[in-house]
Amino acid sequence: MKISTAILSITSLSPAHSWTAPAIPRFTSRTKVSTTGFTQLHSAPPSSSTKYADPSRYLSDHPNNNVPPHIAALVGKGLHTRPNHPIGIIRAKIQEYFSSLPHQDFTIYDAEDPIVTTTQCFDDLRIPPDHPGRSPSDTYYITDTTLLRTHTSAHQSEHLRSGADAFLCAGDVYRRDEIDASHYPAFHQLEGVRLFPVEEMKGAEGKEGQEWLESEECKVIAEDLKATLEGLMDHLFGETEKRWNEDYFPFTSPSYELEIKYQGEWLEVLGCGVVHEEVLQTSDRADRRGWAFGLGLERLAMILFEIPDIRLFWTEDQRFHSQFASGEIVKFESYSKYPPVYKDIAFWIPEGFVENDFFELARGIAGDIVEKMELIDEFTNPKKGKTSKCYRITYRSMDRSLTNEEIDALQMQVREKVAEDLGVEVR
């Protein structure tokens, strides 16, 4: 029951920002893949994102730094570069597919600095200043102008500017978000970009806006994008039913999302589109045209390996890691059915209460044993003009049984700290 609920909830896994796409499907078939690892494609400098494993880089004393120590500690783990980790296995399988495509060599980037500027992450991508995705309630800021990247698209413009014509870019990304089996404040994305040869795009020269959108060349790119990504899905999931929906991203136009049918349900898999001409202009590549896509690796891995809880990707437990090997997609065997402990907390909220602050505070105290936090009741007292919220916290460890005493102690700390730090009035 627990497992199927978790997998279904992947549909709602789409992060809160409206430029985001990433939901992912899953698959029943247990394919053995012949992935040969990370070196098949024309490769950028050797990967070692682990060099970023230095929490002090993320914990500046800037007054607007909102990176808590438990998030800083996640950076640089490099799950996407570990050949025997489900995230690394999926990444390799995606690379394998792109290496099989005839037209172009895709350069692989997997070790960019997760600290990016607001210019890289937002401005270069035409994400407007008032976009909710830029808000500190959704994003981890180091300073006012530097942050933990919220998507791998943050590296599009630098790679385009450096002259890359086709590339894949994988990395860890960070978003303040809700807490449940399919949401974790750190996850991994893989970005792909392809620019077309100048000769093939001659007819598009000088075209912008509507004229560009209606051009034959724009259609050619969109068709190639769709065919390429449909092929990727077949490579990952076997033949599967797919459908395209129109979507919106400030940095692509037209934009689409791809859904695939899994267990009778349509699941969103990725976001993509034709690169907006202004993004190309910003990157000094105004003479070129192309496509881009971005997908979430955890979602794909949860489906392909039937991994029911996103926290598992971060565990050090050998019972998890011993199940996976490079190039193999196998069904994950759950090794724990430890019971959950539920605790409710109700409080009057002050003006400007930010839910993500509360979620993060609980994870800061209790760590990954916080499995889920949900709002179960809310009402406003018209006389007082005050609103009360009641949240249920599900505590559960994947490695051991929890005692009531230890959870009571943690819950007490949460009650104290939420009053102290967030100014709520606990009831």
**Scanning residues 1 to 20, which ones bind ligand PHE (CB under 6 A)?**
19-20
Q: Is 49 in the site for ligand PHE (CB under 6 A)?
A: no
Q: Give me the least distance between CB of 280 and ligand PHE, in Å please.
A: 13
Q: Interface mask (CB under 6 A) for ligand PHE, residues 148-187, using x and -?
A: ---x-x----------------------------------
Q: Give me the least distance between CB of 21 and ligand PHE, in Å please.
A: 4
Q: Give me the least distance between CB of 401 and ligand PHE, in Å please.
A: 37
Neighbour-count burial for 138-156, b at 16+ CB within 10 Å, e otherwise: bbbbbeeebbbbbbbbbbb
Specify whether the CB–CB gap between 359 and 391 falls below 8 A: no
The phi, psi pair for 365, rounded to 5°, reads -85, -50
- Determine how β-strand 252-262 pairs with β-strand 265-275: antiparallel
The residue within the footprint of ligand PHE, chosen from 109, 249, 359, 395 (CB under 6 A), is 249
CB of 107 or CB of 153, closer to ligand PHE: 153
**Scanning residues 290 to 329, which ones bind ligand PHE (CB under 6 A)?**
292-294
CB of 162 or CB of 263, closer to ligand PHE: 162
CB of 167 or CB of 293, closer to ligand PHE: 293
| Angular region, 136: left φ>0, alpha ψ -120 to 50, beta rest | alpha
Specify whether the CB–CB gap between 166 and 195 falls below 8 A: yes
| 411 Cβ contact partners less than 8 Å away, ≥ 6 residues apart | 343, 345, 393
CB of 249 or CB of 391, closer to ligand PHE: 249
| 322 Cβ contact partners less than 8 Å away, ≥ 6 residues apart | none
CB of 232 or CB of 365, closer to ligand PHE: 232
Q: Is 201 in the site for ligand PHE (CB under 6 A)?
A: no
Q: Give me the least distance between CB of 11 and ligand PHE, in Å please.
A: 15
**Scanning residues 326 to 365, which ones bind ligand PHE (CB under 6 A)?**
none
| 10 Cβ contact partners less than 8 Å away, ≥ 6 residues apart | 23, 24, 26, 182, 267, 299, 302, 303
CB of 20 or CB of 411, closer to ligand PHE: 20
Q: Which residue is nearest to ligand PHE (CB)?
A: 294
**How many residues bind to ligand PHE according to rule CB under 6 A?**
15
Q: Is 283 in the site for ligand PHE (CB under 6 A)?
A: no
Structure tokens that stand for 299 in this block:
């979602």
Rounded to whole angstroms, the Cα distance separating 313 from 47 reads 20
Q: Give me the least distance between CB of 133 and ligand PHE, in Å please.
A: 9
Q: Is 254 in the site for ligand PHE (CB under 6 A)?
A: no
The residue within the footprint of ligand PHE, chosen from 13, 204, 272, 393 (CB under 6 A), is 272
Q: Interface mask (CB under 6 A) for ligand PHE, residues 94-133, using x and -?
A: ----------------------------------------
Q: Give me the least distance between CB of 94 and ligand PHE, in Å please.
A: 14
Q: Give me the least distance between CB of 298 and ligand PHE, in Å please.
A: 13
Q: Which residues bind ligand PHE (CB under 6 A)?
A: 19-22, 151, 153, 191, 249, 252, 271-273, 292-294
